């Protein structure tokens, strides 16, 4: 029951390691710590009582990746999170995104083929749908031209996985996330981007703590009820639990075909201003925010049709927006208190 979690000290990765360990899996993390910290392993151990193994290296290094798989050929499966993920940054630095996100994936798949590791869960994204023609978005929605290099790396990655599956014994599940937010109930792990946050909620919580002077809202002239973009926000713990379900589906040979795709969302869309208001209500803090111009690469609105995932995986997002923002705020306060 040994699982490799790449990017396992990152935001979604660390929450998934906790859920895997709580279900009896033995976890090995590989992470280059480019956007996370090795101290997360201590936090995971505090939550679960089990310390996952951490190996620090870059999966873009073909030799080190191959060596890792040779030493760990008894792995039952791989959950691949290790990728750059900021839409805006990808627009500014496309080559960095293509190199990191695609080369690491190819190195892992090549090593899996060589060592006979069969099960692969891919951290994909609703960005593969671009700006959908129809909402909510089901798994049958067409893959449209990506709005950003980040989104394009997710599309290309899914194609690489499918082509690899055709020529190997590997099985793959792509989990297309909507917008993960929130933190673990212990407030020991949460979303901690290094440098300036690219995602809305860390920017909100850091502004509320006084670390950021002001929250920027990118655009209020979108064709939505309040003019700000709409997203489907999902609690990171609900998301993490879906990965455990996906791994079990593979190990228990319950897959209907060699490559499966599932949307992970709540089925509800909230605007940026609605998230801000929900945070202000739950925290009792007024946020200093300013409307600025649109950000390149952002789409207008998207939310999931999660009915296929609910039925086929027996999984459902449980937590609502108020609980999500409250948990993010609890974590931010705990982290700043500990590190003050």
Question: 149 and 289 share a domain?
Answer: no
Question: 82 and 217 share a domain?
Answer: no
Question: 19 and 129 share a domain?
Answer: yes
The CATH code of the domain that includes 242 is 3.40.50.720
pTM across the whole model: 0.96
Please say whether the dihedral angle defined by the alpha carbons of residues 18, 106, 112 and 120, taken in this order, is positive or negative: positive
Tens-digit pLDDT profile for residues 50-96: 999 999 999 999 999 999 999 999 999 999 999 998 888 999 999 99
Tens-digit pLDDT profile for residues 125-168: 999 998 899 999 999 999 998 888 999 999 999 999 999 999 99
Question: Is 192 within the bounds of a domain?
Answer: no
Residue 215's domain comprises: 200-230+267-334
Tens-digit pLDDT profile for residues 200-237: 999 999 999 999 999 999 999 999 999 999 999 999 99
Question: 328 and 210 share a domain?
Answer: yes
Question: Is 26 within the bounds of a domain?
Answer: yes
Question: Is 187 within the bounds of a domain?
Answer: no
The helix/strand/coil state of 56 is strand
Q: What pLDDT does 339 receive?
A: 87
Q: What pLDDT does 297 receive?
A: 80
Pairing of strands 171-177, 119-125: parallel
Tens-digit pLDDT profile for residues 11-22: 999 999 999 999
pLDDT level of residue 311 (50, 70, 90 thresholds): very high
Question: 274 and 143 share a domain?
Answer: no
Distance between first and last Cα of the chain: 39
Question: 47 and 116 share a domain?
Answer: yes
The residue annotated as part of the active site, out of 97, 150, 177, 335, is 150
User: Does 150 participate in catalysis according to the annotation?
Assistant: yes
The four Cα atoms 16, 25, 54, 199 give a dihedral, to 10 degrees, of 0
Question: 240 and 308 share a domain?
Answer: no
**Last-in-domain residue among 244, 264, 284:** 264
Question: 216 and 101 share a domain?
Answer: no
Q: What pLDDT does 130 receive?
A: 86
The CATH code of the domain that includes 307 is 3.90.25.10
Question: 280 and 257 share a domain?
Answer: no
Number of folded domains that form the chain: 2
Question: 224 and 131 share a domain?
Answer: no
Question: Is 339 within the bounds of a domain?
Answer: no
């Amino acid at each position: 029951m040994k699982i490799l979690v790449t990017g396992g000290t990152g935001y979604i990765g660390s929450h998934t390691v906790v859920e895997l360990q709580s279900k009896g899996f033995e976890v090995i993390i590989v992470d280059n710590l480019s956007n996370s910290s090795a101290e997360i392993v201590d936090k995971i151990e505090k939550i679960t009582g089990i310390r996952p193994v951490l190996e620090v290296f870059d999966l873009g290094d073909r030799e080190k990746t191959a060596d890792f798989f040779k030493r760990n050929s008894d792995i039952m499966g791989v959950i691949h999170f290790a990728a750059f993920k900021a839409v805006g940054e990808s627009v500014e630095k496309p080559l960095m995104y293509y190199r990191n996100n695609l080369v690491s994936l190819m190195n892992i798949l090549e090593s899996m083929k060589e060592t006979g590791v069969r099960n692969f869960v891919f951290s994909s994204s609703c960005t593969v749908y671009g700006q959908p023609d129809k909402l909510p978005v089901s798994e049958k929605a067409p893959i449209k031209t990506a709005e950003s290099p980040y989104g394009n790396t997710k599309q290309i990655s899914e194609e690489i996985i499918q082509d690899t599956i055709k020529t190997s014994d590997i099985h793959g599940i792509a989990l297309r996330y909507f917008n993960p937010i929130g933190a673990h109930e212990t407030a020991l792990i949460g979303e901690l981007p290094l440098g300036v946050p690219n995602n809305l909620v860390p920017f909100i919580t850091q502004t509320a703590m006084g670390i950021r002077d002001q929250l920027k809202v990118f655009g209020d002239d979108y064709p939505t009820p309040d003019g700000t973009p709409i997203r489907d926000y999902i609690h990171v713990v609900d998301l993490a639990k879906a990965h455990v379900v996906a791994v079990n589906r593979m190990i228990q040979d319950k897959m209907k075909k060699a490559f499966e795709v599932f949307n992970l969302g709540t089925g509800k869309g909230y605007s940026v201003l609605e998230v801000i208001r929900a945070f202000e209500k739950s925290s009792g803090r007024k946020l200093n925010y300013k409307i600025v111009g649109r950000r390149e690469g952002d789409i207008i609105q998207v939310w999931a049709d999660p009915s296929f995932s609910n039925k086929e995986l027996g999984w459902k997002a449980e937590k609502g927006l108020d609980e999500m923002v409250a948990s993010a705020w609890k974590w931010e306060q705990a982290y700043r208190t500990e590190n003050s």
